[in-house]
Amino acid sequence: MMKIGELARRSGLSAHSIRYYERIGLLPYAGRDQSRQRDYDESILVWIEFLRRLKTTGMPIRDILRYAALRAQGPNTGSERRALLEQHRQQVRDHVTELQACLVILDAKIAGYAGSDHKEKNHDRPQPLPAKPPGAGPSRLGRD
């Protein structure tokens, strides 16, 4: 068992955040000791780490709250929790795929600079804008 200060130190959350997470339902309310201080079981550290992973992977807070509420309801919500995690996993996979495509572009850009021997090869040079036809109104950028 640990007090809120130790949980804060071990989890990396502030005591204020821990109390807030309890209040909004992300963390279960802690038991109290004889002096009415919060007393946490070590297993809460695993739950906090899982919440951190969900947040890091971009799960919206409303979905994290939904998952926490389902978890609090017990094992009979397992299929709903699984579905929520499967949906999030697909979103994470899609995001990873998008990031990998971005890495390919970055690698190509970096390779272009590496092979240029510091000679400019239009890697970042802005392309000239097409000439404005006679009689055309102001540009959409608001400058002529």
Fold of 1-56: Multidrug-efflux Transporter Regulator; Chain: A; Domain 2 (1.10.1660)
118 φ/ψ angles, rounded to the nearest 5 degrees: 65, 10
Domain ranges of the chain: 1-56, 60-118
| pTM value > 0.85 | no
| pLDDT value, residue 141 | 45
In tens, the pLDDT along 60-73 reads 999 999 999 999 99
Name the CA dihedral angle for 67, 70, 72, 74, rounded to a multiple of 10 degrees. Answer: -130
In tens, the pLDDT along 12-63 reads 999 999 999 999 999 988 888 888 888 899 999 999 999 999 999 999 999 9
